[in-house]
Structure 1
Amino acid sequence: MKTLPIVQIQTTPSLLSIDADPGQYSIRQPKAEVQLNTRPAKLTVESHPITLHVDQSKAFSAYNGGNMVDLNARIYSGIQQQFLQNIANRVQQGNDLAAIHRPGNTVANIVGMDWKPQPFPETRTPASVDNVDIRIDTRPPNINFQPAVSELNVIVNKPEIEYQRGKLDIYVKQYASVQYTPPAIDMGL
């Protein structure tokens, strides 16, 4: 019996080589910038001067008669009153002379009493503690207050991100192969 020749097949697998280094992240974020502006509080007080009003016109009128218009008015009024009083006295004297028959109504008694001079009318007003008027005018101060104001401004800086790629090398370390080995042929038949 004869055997069939056997063909040998030998295979080699392919080998891939992968050399990889991971990538690297670099993250950096600058600090935030903070700006704080504060306007201080402001208090303004405006005070008004005190006004003092002193009216001494009544006191001057009691001392020396006051102004000329009022002084002349008092003199005129006083002379008018004295004139009317003198007329009344003369009428009374005339009535007393007409009644001479009464005892004590003699011409010497009637006319002898009329020797005193009449005083000049009073040119001054009566003196009083209320002759000086004092008035004080005050006004409240103007107060203006402005509160303090703070302004906060924050500038946030974005993060700076950098990425450096890693290395990736893929190569064939061994190629696949198929090797056929034929059987030995016996030529000696």
Structure 2
Amino acid sequence: MKTLPVIQIRTTPALLNMKTTPGQYSIRQPKADMQLHTKPAKLTVQSHPIKLSVDQSKAFAAFNGGNMIDMNARIYSGIQQQFLQNIAERVEQGNQLADIHIPGNTIADIIGTDWKPRTFPETRAEPSFNNVDIRIDTKAPDIRYEPAVSEMNVTVRKPEIEYKRGKLDIYMKQYASVQYTPPAVDLGL
């Protein structure tokens, strides 16, 4: 039996090779420039002096009579009172002398008791624990407050971005080929 001759076809595929290097991003962010200025708070307190006044004139008047005008006024007032008292006593004595007919209203009884000396009017004022007047005048302090003030200045820097492109190498690693192998021919005639 005779076989048919067969043609052999051999193919090799094309091989395409790609080599890539990726791109690179480089991002750099410079620091922001910040300036902070603060004006400090201010507290001002202004105090006023305390005024102390002490009036001892009544105490001095009770100790030694005080000033001459007040002392003379007390003496004059005291003599005036004594004068009115003396007039009243003389009127009483006159009334008793008018009633001389009543037993016990003798001249010796009426006038004989009038031998005691009269005291001079008091030159000093009346003593008391309230004779010294103390007065304290205070005034609230003036307080002023100024709050602190802060100022902040920020200078922002833009980011610096760089991009390096990657590489793409494309090359043929193997070319395509077709190979035909014809059958062996038997010429055996």
Alpha-carbon distance between aligned partners in 2 of 1:88 and 1:43, rounded to the nearest angstrom: 76
Partner of 1:85, secondary structure, is helix
CA deviation after TM superposition for structure 1 residue 40, in Å: 1.0
Does the alignment pair 1:110 with 2:110? Answer: yes
Query: Which residue does the alignment assign to 2:8?
Result: none
The SS at the match of 1:150 is strand
Q: CA deviation at 1:61?
A: 1.7
User: What is the 5 A alignment of 1:83-162?
Assistant: 83-156=83-156
User: Aligned partners of 1:75, 1:63: CA distance in 2, in Å?
Assistant: 15
> 1:115 Cα deviation (Å)?
0.8
1:88 is aligned with what amino acid? A
> Which residue of structure 2 aligns with residue 80 of structure 1?
80
- Between the aligned partners of 2:84 and 2:142, the Cα distance in structure 1 is 62
Deviation at 1:38, TM superposition (A): 1.0
- 1:151 and 1:88 map into 2 onto residues whose CA distance is 95
CA RMSD of aligned residues (A): 2.6
Inter-partner Cα distance in structure 1 for 2:139 and 2:56: 24
Cα drift, residue 158 of structure 1:
7.1
Q: CA–CA distance in 1 between the matches of 2:68 and 2:157?
A: 90
- Counting matched residue pairs gives 137
**Once the two structures are superposed, what CA deviation does each residue of 1:89-125 show, in whole Å capped at 9, x if it has no partner?**
1122122222222212222221211111111111222
Query: Aligned equivalents of 1:70 and 1:157: distance in 2?
Result: 91
Identity of aligned residues (%): 73
> For 2:73, what is the secondary structure of its paired residue?
helix
Q: 1:58: Cα distance to partner?
A: 1.7
Aligned to 1:65: 65
SS at match of 1:143: strand
1:43 Cα deviation from its structure 2 partner:
1.3
The question of 1:36 aligning with 2:36 is answered yes
Alpha-carbon distance in 1 for matches of 2:99, 2:28: 139
* TM-score under structure 2 length normalisation: 0.62
Gaps of 5+ in 2: 1-26, 162-189
Gaps of 5+ in 1: 1-26, 162-189
After superposition, give the CA deviation of every residue in 1:97-155 in whole Å (9 maximum; x if it has no partner): 22222212222221211111111111222211111222222222221111111111234
Q: Which amino acid aligns with 1:53?
A: S
AA aligned opposite 1:42: K
Does 1:56 find its partner at 2:56? yes
Q: Distance in 1 between matches of 2:80 and 2:126?
A: 19
CA deviation after TM superposition for structure 1 residue 80, in Å: 0.9
